[in-house]
Structure 1
Amino acid sequence: MDNCDLEKLSVSVGKLQPDFSPNITTYQVTVESSVNKVNLDVVTSDCGASYRIRFGDESRVIKLNDGVNKVEIEVVAEDGTIKKYYVDITKLSAKIAELSELTLEGAFPLYPPFNSKTFEYNSTVPFQVNSVTLLPSVPDKHIKVKVNGGDNSQPVPLNYGDTLVDILVSSADGTHSQVYTVLVTRELIPLAVSFSDPKKQFEYECPVSLNAFYRPISINNSDPKHIFSRPYIEMLARRSKVDPLNNSPLRDTWKVTEMNLDHQMSAAPVKCLFTYRGCDSEVKLSEFGSHLLNCPHKPTGDLNAKDITETKWYKEQYEATSCLPVETKHIVEVRNWEKKYHLAAAAETNVEKLCTFAEDHLKVYSEHLPKPGDLMQYQEGTSPLYNLEQAAIHYASAIRHNSKDSRLHFLLGMVLETTYFATEMYGLQKKVDKESNELSDAKSTSRQDDILAVCKLHGFPGTPTVENQLKALDKEYQQLRDQGQSSKADYVQTLFLWLSRKVGKDNSVALRDEQNVLNQALMKYLDAWSLSPDCWEYNLHVGRLMLMQGKHREALQHLQTGLALRPRHAGLRFFTGLALLQQEKKPSEDTEKEAASFLQQGLEHFIGQRCRESVAALAAQSVSQCVSRGEASSQLEWVLLDAHFVLLQQLIHKAKANAEMKSSVAKRCQAIIALIRLTSITSCQELLDMQENVCQLSVVTTPRDNYALCLLGLAQLAQFESNPKLTRSQEVLADACLSFQASIDLEGKPQKGEPSEQLSKQKWWRDKQQNESQNVSKSPASQPQAVKGSLNTGAATRGGGRGRAQPGKGLSASREGKCCESSPVNPKSHIPRLGLARALCHSEKHEQAKTLYQEVITMSPEVHDAYIELVQLLEPSDPQAAVEVYCRYPLKPVSEQTFDDAFITGEIVRILMKLELYDHPQLGSSLVAYGKVMGLSK
């Protein structure tokens, strides 16, 4: 009687969402723009019930309008009970131009997730993927879709780096359209690429990685274009907002994406990486990754055990006794730093569960590692370092309950080593504990008395050793916790930690190694090795860390033991080769060959090649991924600089026989100088020497390039400033002045021709010329051939001029006049003037320096250093003139000012207050600006 449900509800076109159920009263259905009417099929559950369609003419044929048509179905039972069902029928407009879904074949994710009102997406695919197929879906079959102007079902070929895919969606009636874009990025192949055309090798070379451009970006308004791989220029820009190659400031819109270059480069043929193994294939760069995976010549990874078992050391020492002599003496013990983990451990005693907890924390750690550019701000208990600490606590607790399990010691060592690299590479640091602050003498005495009282309770009367004090506290803590006295146990834990820190401060030299987390990791690896000395894995990790600590002899013993146990292991071969070359005694020729073979096999296994170009590419990629500038980052940057320098020397050697390569030498020099200038490595003599050497090579290659001369001056000035008291410091300072002056003199002049006279006054240049003259005099080459081959380079032309009489110079000048017409002209810059002004300040030539600082301010009014350094010269004798200099600085509106700007406004305030010029018109505005930028006012 009161049944007012529907038994059936359906539509003739489309599908109800959700599926019909008598208990669900609200539905939606969407139909295409060509559908003008929909038939409703309605059946009541009770034959005595009736229904009424409240829409339009109330018939079962629903005539649709564009948009949402709200249909209400009222069901009335026999007793008058009413129930209403609602069907919203949406008729798509013929003017709609949008997608209902967008995916990539292969389940590659889109970022952000698809939304029909979001029109720009990114997706990253593996490097071996040569093409992608986009799968757009439309709500109306009459909506037309084109992908890059073609059929939407066709695969889109991918560039080496970025590929922009346009999806054009046109409405059913053709009056409207919408473009969706997907930027598809292939992962970087961290291996060297060799183009078949040698000219393309340098044309497509990134100045940082010395590898093919990856997602190339150029600096806006740079002339000629300064192009870099995206990850590396973004890394350098985070360090300093300047163009690395000419030191000009980067504006807000400095990035220009070179998509055409990426496309052009992707079509260029390249050689297979495994050419040295017999592969002579040439493929397009865009197909390079897939070819690497399928190349029949790639290393199989199957190493021959006879390479080890046939060695002299294996036969003499291992074959007969099945063991190698190892000098390491180690005792497994519980150290003070491990006890801290014990104190923080939970009550769980099941070793398997503790290991599971540790693994869970390690997973969370991996998921929350920061990426370059991330803000490393974490709530309590969410930091990656916190999860590592918890994993260490669980493993330490597991060791406490099963100290004979070598695997547990090893796993704790792995966590501790991971902690080291987390702090070095990601800059993660624990918050400073409040207890690290110094306590008052009274409170310290009170705590010490409490500790002695605890010691007396546990059989250590008087003043026991620190070790016994810690033992007594540990016993007391365990006893109180077992008795459920948590508050007292917490206080004893505080005493334990306080005493541990106090001992660490009082004996920092003795405990330095114990407190070093990397040394703690080595101790746990040694614990594991002591319990299972025949485990190759433990020997590998002990040897690795001993190598890092400079214990090369012991490291080799462990690595050779591991290699004897596992002769096919590539990692063991690599580190054994490294250890063989680092022994105090110079290795024999046979040992060097053995080491080289092991190193090669290890590299082939991990990166599939053995060339220096890949070292530079790998180092550049690793440096760009380092979030923090720590020891690990510095070591990677040294690898990058060393690879650059070795490759530069090789290129210079090749350029001696091919004058056309000299421009490539100049580019390489400019690149390595930029890397040195923007490096995070702490300044040292080795770095300064490398910088000066490279700058000299750059000037030798292009002696009339005024920017190369300017960079040489900066390197020479840096040498002087690092140690002004050196014997040759004044000579270096004089050379810096000459280099800067030569750079200024060549402004507006062509880059080809005779070198500047300022160069001939520098000792290093004269020594080079003398060496060249001696080499020429010893050379049996005929004079006419030498002159003919020397017309294209400045250095060779100078040699020809010296060897010939006056007519020879006339010929050289004539040729020079012709080539200068097409030679680039040196631009004018403030940088050499600023450098020369600084050098003159060191020479006590202040008046000349002041003039140059004024020129810098006129040429580049935004350079803060020129104002600051000029004021330092003016203020002692004429402070009001110093204020006037600062007042010339073109300040931006206060909301846009930086801390550098605040320094200048702060200096104006300081000087005016010092002079008691309280009515000066700049005082009020400078004070307000300084306060707002520094956060001193709202």
Structure 2
Amino acid sequence: MALNHSNPKHIFSEKCINFLTRKTKSDPFDDTPFDANWSVPEYELDGRMSDASVYCCYKYRGCTSVMQLSDLGSHTKVCPNQPPAELDSKDVTGTSWYQTEFGLTNKMKSQFNHTIEVRNWEKKLRERADDGSVEKLCSSATQQIQTYRELLLKSVLYYEDGESPLDALHKAAVDYALAIKLKPKDPDLHFHLGVLLEEHYCAVVIHGVTKKSEEEGTDTLSSAEISGRNEEISAICRLHGIKGQVTLQQQLKALDMEYRQLKEQGQSAKAAYAQTLYNWKAQQAAKDGKVKAAHTDDQSYVDWALLKYMDALSLQPQNWQYNFHVGRLLLFQKKNNDALKYLQTALAQKPTEPSIRFYTGLVVLDRDDGLGPQTRYAVQYLQQGLEQLLTVLQSSDQNLPGQEASHLQALNTFSLLNIQLLKGIFRLGTFLFNPPAGLPEKTMPPEQVLHFAADLAARGLCQYPYRGAVSQDLEWLLLEAHFTLLDLLAKHASGMEEWVDKRCQSLSSLIKNSSIPVCEELRDMQRMVCQLRVEISPCSSNALYMLGLAQMADYDNETSADTAKQMIEDARFSFQASINMENKPIFGPPPIELSKQKWWHDWKSDENQKAHQKSQQQQQQQQSGAKGTAPPPPASARGGTARGRATGTRGSAATPQSGASKPTVSPRGIGASGKGNEVSRGARGRAAATSPSKTTASGKIAQTRGSEKSAGKDAKPTSDYTTDVAQGSRPSQIRPLMNRASFAYRLAMARALSRIDESSTEAQNYYNEVIKMAPEVHDAYIELANLLLKTNPLGAVEIYCKFPVKPIKEQTFDDAFITGEIVRLLMKFGKYDDSRLGPNLIAYGRVMGLAAIDTYINTLDQKLKTELLMTVYAGIHDKPMEDAELQAFFTFKHWI
């Protein structure tokens, strides 16, 4: 779908835009607020995408067919080059490790010494009397599991005691525990109890199943009320000079300061509400502590599940399933060496199982001893697992989490909710840039694997029912996959700048709208992406604006005063440049404000040095040719630095420095880590991608783009990315030639100036410009009014009153904040006869309820403002003053 009134047209997948705008209903690219009809179907684009010619996604396996994108799905199901339905066991039995470990005897070696015992937690499961046979208990457990699945499909925030899916799981676990008591030597009973214990962890962490606690009772706030309270707390923090990413301690401190200030001013009603907010936030902190403690308890369920899997394995060592799940959970606990033994045993017992192959390959790739003789087998096993996942997605209904398969999540290894699986795919993609020798010819190119990783992570996020730790892992995976793909694209030769620009724009917007808590790694990623885009398009207002946002985020999180001062100055320069470039061509010399920034100066110096070195190399080549010596072969354009393209003007791009045999990025470049040619992994320790050689990264992007349904690019079928661009499929066809004016640039500029000086007249002027350009944007009124509160509080009322008032029935909680502030300030300064007080009291009371204005009503009653009170009550109840019920109430209150 396209975003209405966007220019140039901003087009998104419907599921993706709904996910990106789940918090703020505004354009992810330029922050324009959505109106009622913000989305427009793109039928013409859908048609062009369906008609686009693409290669088969099994081209890497030898398929040369070219078809329309709309026919790709049906073709893959009958493609003769598709992966075989049954894997060849010789891929395992023919390996050296298999022959060494298992080839000398048909009997698998015992891997461990384990003692079965009844542990304390298992004794607690046997809470009821043994009142049946094993068969009866197993049948009861099966029914409880079915109940669990049905309850899990319900969209419920909190479950009453006894009605939670966890209760059904607990009852099933009790049944199996009692069955084990009756038949302790049955390995299947131990295994099923382990599955239920692991499923408890999945229900809490993946699906977010929560019981309603006693202290919550029926006073659980709605999401809108929670959002409203958090907005009020943020405003109070800004009021007391606490800005940026505010910690919980800072929020409590600001609320305490607000409470004391209101008490000193005699505003007991507002002070009581500030105390309410303080107590609510403090209780929320206590609940967060309980959640962390509960999460620790949930982790113990994984430990218990592992023990039951090992109990089952000790009773039946030849069972591949038991070995596999023991190895899988050991890998989950990062005990890689132990996990490898069990996974290899399981693979030897069931060599054709793709899930065992995938996890075994993942352990081998992540082992601490680096590349080994098994690595090429590991790559093959990981690819076979990816192919199996794609086959599952094509052949079954895996559109909704929780409905993927008939079995439990703990057993569903090929699921979009299995973060371990998706991380393994990303790990495969990054590893393939420097693959070991001897890989089969039918190995996917790394770009295609990374595209699959990004696409699968996006699908998982859009379908994910619960926003928790796993959803953040999915977001990290999505960002890292796109960041790595951007790094690959940036290393191509000149001529790819506009593709890089589009990817930078999309990735920076994705980071900006991420729900991941702000951290140094995320800010570094945002800054590098934005700087790369500015280097390519230094005259783009939007690129400069996004860079300024990244610089201001760095300022908000910087502890050093001197460094912070430089950061906010750079942000101010970026915002000023974005405003100055409005209504001007995107092409041309960079604005003067860029030359004032240190990072830009360093980059230009680096580029000039590269140009000088290249000139010297060319002179040496010419001299060698004049002497009759054959000149060295030209350096490949592939694998060059990502910083070798954008010069002072948009039209002329610098050629990358020769010497492409060293495919490292500049120290400040995308993914620079200071460790050879590794892409930065940051503090989270995720898999690093090494820079591709000129043959590896020589242009699979267009092929991959055409072979995936999610790509949606209209391109001729070609295996070379640069050829695709040269043939005219460039984004410049839809890029504007002129920069558009935007309120967002001025709003950001005002924020930067107010951070430098809260009394800045210039900041107030920019806020007023925003109000004129976008009168529906709440932030401009709220932030400008906050600047005036200390010096001219009634002037803040004037600002709030400029907000275009909607009909009362259409007003939102954001509107209510503004009307509430008008009422608060007028009441605070005793302006009881102000004509603006009545209408805003009515609007505020209609949205927030009579309880929110109860203290104001009491104050007006004491001041004998009976006419105003009767008007307010009539307006809130939407009844005429002459209404019989209202007249009776007014008489009761002695207002008439």
Find the aligned partners of 1:540 and 1:327 in 2 and give their Cα distance: 14
Output aligned runs, 1:66-465, within 5 Å.
217-320=1-104, 322-323=107-108, 326=111, 331-336=116-121, 338-343=122-127, 348-370=131-153, 374=155, 376=157, 383-433=164-214
TM-score, structure 1 normalization: 0.62
2:737 pairs with one of 824, 831, 837: 824
TM-score, structure 2 normalization: 0.64
Q: Could you say which residue in structure 2 is the equivalent of 1:632?
A: 470
Indicate the SS of the match to 1:426.
coil
Match of 2:13, as an amino acid? S
Find the aligned partners of 1:593 and 1:843 in 2 and give their Cα distance: 56
Q: Could you say which residue in structure 2 is the equivalent of 1:837?
A: 750
Contact 2:365/2:371, CA 8 A, preserved across alignment: no
Indicate the SS of the match to 2:794.
helix
1:607 pairs with one of 390, 412, 431: 390
Q: Could you say which residue in structure 2 is the equivalent of 1:696?
A: 531
Contact 1:669/1:694, CA 8 A, preserved across alignment: yes
Match of 1:620, as an amino acid? A
| Deviation digits for residues 803-841 of structure 1 (CA, Å, limit 9, x no counterpart) | xxxxxxxxxxxxxxxx99x96211111112221222222
- Which structure has more relative contact order (CA 8 Å, sep 6+)? It is 2
Q: Could you say which residue in structure 1 is the equivalent of 2:816?
A: 902
Q: Structure 1's 397 and 272: CA in aligned 2 closer, same or farther, altered over 3 A? A: same
Q: Could you say which residue in structure 1 is the equivalent of 2:404?
A: none
Q: Structure 1's 823 and 265: CA in aligned 2 closer, same or farther, altered over 3 A? A: closer
Output aligned runs, 1:18-37, within 5 Å.
none
Contact 2:197/2:305, CA 8 A, preserved across alignment: yes
Match of 1:430, as an amino acid? K
Instruction: Report the CA distance between 1:413 and its aligned residue.
Output: 2.4
Instruction: Report the CA distance between 1:747 and its aligned residue.
Output: 0.8
Find the aligned partners of 1:733 and 1:252 in 2 and give their Cα distance: 36
Q: Could you say which residue in structure 1 is the equivalent of 2:766?
A: 852
Find the aligned partners of 1:378 and 1:791 in 2 and give their Cα distance: 56
Find the aligned partners of 1:335 and 1:791 in 2 and give their Cα distance: 66
| Deviation digits for residues 495-529 of structure 1 (CA, Å, limit 9, x no counterpart) | xxxxxxxxxx99x9899457643333333323323
Q: Structure 1's 401 and 926: CA in aligned 2 closer, same or farther, altered over 3 A? A: farther
My pick for the range that moved more, 508-517 or 528-537, is 508-517
Instruction: Report the CA distance between 1:727 and its aligned residue.
Output: 6.4
Indicate the SS of the match to 2:22.
helix
1:594 pairs with one of 377, 381, 399: 377
1:934 pairs with one of 848, 856, 860: 848
Residues 1:680 and 2:464 are matched in the alignment? no
Q: Structure 1's 840 and 511: CA in aligned 2 closer, same or farther, altered over 3 A? A: closer
Q: Could you say which residue in structure 2 is the equivalent of 1:574?
A: 358
| Deviation digits for residues 368-393 of structure 1 (CA, Å, limit 9, x no counterpart) | 5448xx56576776654444343333
Q: Structure 1's 533 and 732: CA in aligned 2 closer, same or farther, altered over 3 A? A: farther
1:914 pairs with one of 828, 832, 840: 828
Match of 1:276, as an amino acid? Y
Instruction: Report the CA distance between 1:733 and its aligned residue.
Output: 1.8
Find the aligned partners of 1:892 and 1:553 in 2 and give their Cα distance: 64
Q: Structure 1's 798 and 512: CA in aligned 2 closer, same or farther, altered over 3 A? A: closer
More strand by share: 1
Q: Could you say which residue in structure 1 is the equivalent of 2:595?
A: 760
Q: Could you say which residue in structure 2 is the equivalent of 1:872?
A: 786
Match of 1:597, as an amino acid? Q
Find the aligned partners of 2:113 and 2:775 in 1 and give their Cα distance: 65
Q: Could you say which residue in structure 2 is the equivalent of 1:557?
A: 341
Residues 1:720 and 2:555 are matched in the alignment? yes
| Deviation digits for residues 295-333 of structure 1 (CA, Å, limit 9, x no counterpart) | 001110443434334444444444457556856866532
Larger radius of gyration: 1
Residues 1:770 and 2:551 are matched in the alignment? no
Instruction: Report the CA distance between 1:254 and its aligned residue.
Output: 1.5
Match of 2:185, as an amino acid? K
Contact 1:370/1:627, CA 8 A, preserved across alignment: no
Q: Could you say which residue in structure 1 is the equivalent of 2:270?
A: none
Task: Kindly report the root-mean-square deviation, in angstroms, between the aligned alpha carbons of the 2 structures.
Answer: 3.5
Match of 1:233, as an amino acid? I
Q: Structure 1's 365 and 913: CA in aligned 2 closer, same or farther, altered over 3 A? A: same
Q: Could you say which residue in structure 2 is the equivalent of 1:641?
A: 479
Q: Could you say which residue in structure 2 is the equivalent of 1:451?
A: none
Find the aligned partners of 1:791 and 1:514 in 2 and give their Cα distance: 51
1:524 pairs with one of 291, 303, 308: 308
Indicate the SS of the match to 1:283.
strand
| Deviation digits for residues 602-637 of structure 1 (CA, Å, limit 9, x no counterpart) | 223332666211111111111111011111111111
Q: Structure 1's 823 and 263: CA in aligned 2 closer, same or farther, altered over 3 A? A: closer
Find the aligned partners of 1:855 and 1:327 in 2 and give their Cα distance: 73
Q: Could you say which residue in structure 2 is the equivalent of 1:794?
A: 649
Residues 1:731 and 2:566 are matched in the alignment? yes
Find the aligned partners of 2:645 and 2:295 in 1 and give their Cα distance: 65
Indicate the SS of the match to 1:680.
coil
Contact 2:646/2:654, CA 8 A, preserved across alignment: no
Indicate the SS of the match to 2:850.
coil
Match of 2:78, as an amino acid? N
Find the aligned partners of 1:712 and 1:722 in 2 and give their Cα distance: 16
Matched pairs, number: 625
Instruction: Report the CA distance between 1:242 and its aligned residue.
Output: 1.3
**What fraction of aligned residue pairs are identical, expressed as a percent?**
44
Output aligned runs, 1:886-901, within 5 Å.
886-901=800-815
Indicate the SS of the match to 2:603.
helix
Indicate the SS of the match to 2:569.
helix
Q: Structure 1's 726 and 641: CA in aligned 2 closer, same or farther, altered over 3 A? A: farther
Indicate the SS of the match to 1:276.
helix
Find the aligned partners of 2:795 and 2:500 in 1 and give their Cα distance: 46
Instruction: Report the CA distance between 1:909 and its aligned residue.
Output: 2.5
My pick for the range that moved more, 845-854 or 327-336, is 327-336
Instruction: Report the CA distance between 1:732 and its aligned residue.
Output: 2.0
Contact 2:504/2:532, CA 8 A, preserved across alignment: yes
Q: Could you say which residue in structure 1 is the equivalent of 2:498?
A: 663
Indicate the SS of the match to 1:797.
coil
Instruction: Report the CA distance between 1:246 and its aligned residue.
Output: 1.9
Q: Structure 1's 379 and 313: CA in aligned 2 closer, same or farther, altered over 3 A? A: same
Q: Structure 1's 886 and 520: CA in aligned 2 closer, same or farther, altered over 3 A? A: farther
Find the aligned partners of 1:567 and 1:298 in 2 and give their Cα distance: 20
My pick for the range that moved more, 627-636 or 866-875, is 866-875
Contact 2:454/2:477, CA 8 A, preserved across alignment: yes
Indicate the SS of the match to 1:744.
helix
Residues 1:622 and 2:405 are matched in the alignment? no
Q: Which runs of 5+ in 1 are unaligned?
A: 1-216, 438-504, 801-818
Instruction: Report the CA distance between 1:751 and its aligned residue.
Output: 0.6
Contact 2:130/2:178, CA 8 A, preserved across alignment: no
Find the aligned partners of 1:870 and 1:311 in 2 and give their Cα distance: 70
Q: Structure 1's 399 and 893: CA in aligned 2 closer, same or farther, altered over 3 A? A: farther
Contact 1:242/1:250, CA 8 A, preserved across alignment: yes
Q: Could you say which residue in structure 2 is the equivalent of 1:173?
A: none
Q: Could you say which residue in structure 2 is the equivalent of 1:544?
A: 328
Instruction: Report the CA distance between 1:422 and its aligned residue.
Output: 2.9
Find the aligned partners of 1:511 and 1:259 in 2 and give their Cα distance: 46
Contact 1:326/1:554, CA 8 A, preserved across alignment: no
Q: Could you say which residue in structure 2 is the equivalent of 1:203?
A: none
| Deviation digits for residues 437-456 of structure 1 (CA, Å, limit 9, x no counterpart) | 9xxxxxxxxxxxxxxxxxxx
| Deviation digits for residues 175-212 of structure 1 (CA, Å, limit 9, x no counterpart) | xxxxxxxxxxxxxxxxxxxxxxxxxxxxxxxxxxxxxx
